[in-house]
Structure formats: structure tokens, C-alpha cells
């Protein structure tokens, strides 16, 4: 379990606190979305979870280990953090070497490294690029390599910073399926995003951040259909939630955010109507 206890943080360059009094809990095997506007402190929070940043006050415990007293390399085994821009981490000559890099750093044995690399490349549909330079790949493919580079050591908690930026709809759909699949295998997945549509369809637990504070927390359908909460984090409701806002005068519930449940409710109503006719 990752415990964030009353954490405040200020960057040395000043301009006030990036996080102030944040308390939040991430359970093993959980699926969570940390949402909020630009500058809300989402990435700052993410960097606290593997010890890259250490709280100015309060503390972060990863399985009861205080991040202030542990090295990032040690925490990284449990907490994998995938950065937003793949260009900030790709440097190897081949995709295979890129994915193996962290495994070498973390001290895995040669045979294990080989197996893990092949397995990871396969699961992300990258096997055919194994011997290609990561710099020759498209933006979406580079993003997948960056994900593979962290997924390779199978960290217990996987944090994805803005995974949907620069991805087209089809890729987002695949990414969502992939995340859901990972999560169902028992990995905790924490996504940092302001993509409400993506979150609405995936339905994780949502933590809303604004100006360095937690302003809302709960299941996606409840949080994302709550006009006040959504507005307080400078987000916009997902389209389905907007639609059900309009439909509420016909007796529909307002807390509907995903296509699946919307379809269910509408289908039921249509059936009722056709019975009456």
C-alpha cells in the first residue's frame, strides 16, 4: 500500500506550494485516476510515490517504507513511473536494449532479462520493432516503448503520467483495454490525466486535485457527474454525463458516465415504452 500522509511540497525555485496537505491512499491491485487541471500538482504527486521528490512536510510510505529514507532505485522495483514524454527517456540503439536497460540497473540475471524483454515486447505488440532504433518509431510507438521500458520489471504499482496525450482514439481504446487487463492481473495502475472521456469509460477510482489539494475522491461515475467537483478541478463533465444531465427530467439518474451503463438504461426504458404501446 502507498500511503501519502499530509504531504506538502514546495519546489526550490519558489512560487508557493505545489502540494499542500495531500493525504491519499493507493491499495495494491487498485485502479486509480489522479485528475486535475495543468499545474494542479498531479505530476508532483506522482514523483512523490517513487521517491523522486521528498515531501517538505508529511510523509509517503510505500509498503511501510518511508520514501525519505529509501533510494529511488529501491522504490522503483515496486513503483514504476512512466513519464509523459518518451523523448525524455529513450536513448538506446534498439528497442530491445531500451526495454532491458532498467532490468540491468535493477540487477536482474541475464536469462531473466531476456525472458522479461521478450514477454513485454510481445504484450505491447512491439516484437517486430525489437531491433529497430526507438528514434525511428512514430510518436505512439515511442510511447509504447516507454511503457514497455517500465513494465518490463513488472512493478507492483504502475504509474502512467498522461498516457493518452498525443494518442489517437484507436490507440486510446487499446491502451484502456491494456490497462484494464493489467489491472485484472493484480497490478495497481495509477493514471495521471485530465482526459475525462478516457476515465469515464475505464471507471477507476478518481482522485481530484486542484491547486495542490485533494478536492474530491470516489468512484468515477459519482465524481465525474458531480458538477461542483468537476468544476473545482477545472475539468468538464464527460459527454455521457452531460447527456444524462439533460435526460434527468425523464427520470434518468445523473451519475452515468460510460457508454455501457448508458446503453443499459436506455435499452430498459425503450423496452418499457414498447410494452406500453
Partner 1 sequence: MSRSFVTLRSLEGFKFYGRKTIVHNLDPRAKALFITTVFVVSLLFTNLYVLLGLLTVHVPFLLAAGVLRRWVYSIRAGALLAGIIFFANLLTGSGVLPALALTVRFLVLLTTFSLFFMTTSPDDLGLALDRVGLVRWLSRRWLGFPNALSFTFTTAVRLVPTLAVDAQTVIDAQRSRGLELDKGNVLRRIRNYVPILIPLLLVAIRRSLELAEALEARGFPGREDRTSLYELRFKASDYLLVLGSSTVLAVSMWIFVIHPVLRLPF
Residues in contact with partner 1 by the rule CB under 8 A: 12-13, 47, 50-54, 71-73, 76-77, 80-81, 83, 85, 87-91, 101-102, 105-106, 135, 149-150
Q: Which is nearer to partner 1, 87 or 114 (CB)?
A: 87
Q: Beta strand 2-10 with 57-62: parallel, antiparallel or unpaired?
A: antiparallel
Q: Which is nearer to partner 1, 103 or 214 (CB)?
A: 103
Task: Write phi, then psi, for 22 (nearest 5 degrees).
Answer: -85, 125
Rounded to whole angstroms, how far apart are CA atoms 190 and 59?
19
Residue 263 Cβ vs partner 1, minimum distance, rounded to whole Å: 40
Nearest CA among 220, 89, 209 for reference residue 146: 89
- What are the angstrom distances between the C-alpha of 213 and each of 2, 59, 225, 231? 18, 15, 20, 14
Residue 29 Cβ vs partner 1, minimum distance, rounded to whole Å: 21
Q: Which is nearer to partner 1, 12 or 251 (CB)?
A: 12
Residue 180 Cβ vs partner 1, minimum distance, rounded to whole Å: 23
- β-bridge partners, 16: none
Residue 184 Cβ vs partner 1, minimum distance, rounded to whole Å: 25
Q: Which is nearer to partner 1, 96 or 229 (CB)?
A: 96
Q: Which is nearer to partner 1, 88 or 111 (CB)?
A: 88
Task: Write phi, then psi, for 14 (nearest 5 degrees).
Answer: 90, -145
Rg from Cα positions in the chain: 20
Residue 76 Cβ vs partner 1, minimum distance, rounded to whole Å: 5
Amino acid at each position: 500500500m502507498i500511503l501519502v500522509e499530509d504531504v506538502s511540497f514546495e519546489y526550490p525555485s519558489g512560487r508557493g506550494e505545489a502540494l499542500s496537505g495531500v493525504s491519499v491512499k493507493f491499495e495494491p491491485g487498485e485502479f486509480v485516476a489522479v485528475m486535475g487541471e495543468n499545474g494542479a500538482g498531479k505530476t508532483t504527486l506522482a514523483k512523490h510515490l517513487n521517491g523522486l521528490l521528498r515531501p517538505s512536510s508529511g510523509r509517503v510510505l510505500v509498503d511501510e517504507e518511508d520514501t525519505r529514507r529509501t533510494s529511488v532505485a529501491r522504490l522503483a522495483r515496486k513503483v514504476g513511473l512512466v513519464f509523459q514524454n518518451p523523448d525524455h527517456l529513450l536513448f538506446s540503439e534498439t528497442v530491445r536494449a531500451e526495454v532491458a536497460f532498467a532490468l540491468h540497473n535493477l540487477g536482474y540475471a541475464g536469462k531473466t532479462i531476456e525472458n522479461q524483454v521478450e514477454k513485454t515486447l510481445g504484450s505491447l505488440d512491439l516484437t517486430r520493432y525489437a531491433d529497430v532504433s526507438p528514434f525511428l518509431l512514430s510518436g505512439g510507438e515511442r510511447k509504447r516503448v516507454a511503457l514497455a521500458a517500465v513494465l518490463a520489471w513488472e512493478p507492483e504499482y504502475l504509474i502512467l503520467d498522461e498516457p493518452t496525450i498525443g494518442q489517437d482514439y484507436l490507440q486510446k481504446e487499446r491502451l484502456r483495454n491494456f490497462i484494464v487487463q493489467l489491472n485484472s492481473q493484480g497490478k495497481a495502475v495509477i493514471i495521471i490525466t485530465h482526459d475525462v472521456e478516457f476515465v469515464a469509460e475505464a471507471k477507476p477510482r478518481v482522485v481530484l486535485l486542484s491547486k495542490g489539494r485533494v478536492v474530491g475522491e470516489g468512484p468515477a461515475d459519482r465524481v465525474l457527474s458531480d458538477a461542483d467537483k468537476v468544476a473545482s478541478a477545472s475539468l468538464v463533465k464527460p459527454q455521457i454525463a452531460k447527456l444524462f444531465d439533460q435526460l434527468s427530467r425523464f427520470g434518468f439518474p445523473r451519475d452515468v458516465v460510460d457508454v455501457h451503463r448508458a446503453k443499459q438504461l436506455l435499452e430498459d426504458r425503450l423496452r418499457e415504452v414498447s410494452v406500453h404501446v
